[in-house]
Amino acid sequence: MKVLLSREQIAEAVARMGKQISRDFAGESVVLIGVLKGACLFLSDLARQIELDATFDFIAVRSYGTKKEAAGEVQLIKDVTTPLRDVNVILVEDILDTGLTLTFLRKHLCAHQPRAFKIATLLDKPSRRAAPVQADYVGFQIPDEFVVGYGLDFAERYRNLPDICVLESP
């Protein structure tokens, strides 16, 4: 498989994002909410680059569609348990593609009336956007290619690859 982003490039971007978040929320606490399962590797590395009082929570959704295409129907399968009212929430996602997942999650989480709501995504495919959503912290903008590794899967496989690779013929 062709490596698109090496583990060194990923580590550099994650460190940069952690510094930005630490600067933006200096003196405050944050709740990092990871979108399962894809964001769990990113969250665990990002958290260690954030020099703030931080807690974690996780949320899981399922989006219906064929193997590589997200459909538009998003269903909540695991909710957070942390009270979010008046706290600083950073939603941590692996990839922002059509934006349908994050549009759903933003609405769901903002209903709790957090003090701040920010989105951190490792990857952004802006050319695929179908819903108007932007991330506040972005690791890399990538072209419209299907990628796996560092948490990202194809049919649940390849999440454990240390680099982000382009899946050409699954």
Q: Quick count: other Cβ atoms within 10 Å of Cβ 48?
A: 12
121 binds ligand IMP, rule: CB under 6 A: no
* N- to C-terminal Cα separation, the chain: 10
User: Is residue 97 annotated as part of the catalytic site, yes or no?
Assistant: yes
Phi and psi, residue 101, nearest 5°: -65, -50
Dihedral class, residue 158 (left if φ above 0, else alpha if ψ from -120 to 50, else beta): left
Q: 59 with 37: CB under 8 angstroms?
A: no
Q: Which of 25, 87, 94, 118 forms a contact with ligand IMP (CB under 6 A)?
A: 94
Beta strands in the chain (DSSP E): 2-5, 29-36, 53-63, 74-78, 88-96, 116-124, 137-141, 147-148, 164-166
- Active-site hit among 45, 94, 97, 124: 97
Number of residues that bind ligand IMP (CB under 6 A): 17
152 binds ligand IMP, rule: CB under 6 A: yes
149 binds Mg ion, rule: CB under 5 A: no
97 binds ligand IMP, rule: CB under 6 A: yes
Minimal distance, residue 108 CB to ligand IMP, in Å? 13
Q: Which of 80, 96, 120, 161 forms a contact with ligand IMP (CB under 6 A)?
A: 96
Residues 49-88: x where in contact with Mg ion by CB under 5 A, - otherwise, as a string: ----------------------------------------
- Sheet of 88-96: strand order equals 74-78, 53-63, 29-36, 88-96, 116-124, 137-141
Handedness of CA 44, 40, 22, 26 (dihedral sign): negative
10 binds ligand IMP, rule: CB under 6 A: no
38 binds Mg ion, rule: CB under 5 A: yes
Number of residues that bind Mg ion (CB under 5 A): 2
So which residues are the catalytic ones? 97
Contact residues toward ligand IMP (CB under 6 A) are 38, 63, 70, 93-102, 146-148, 152
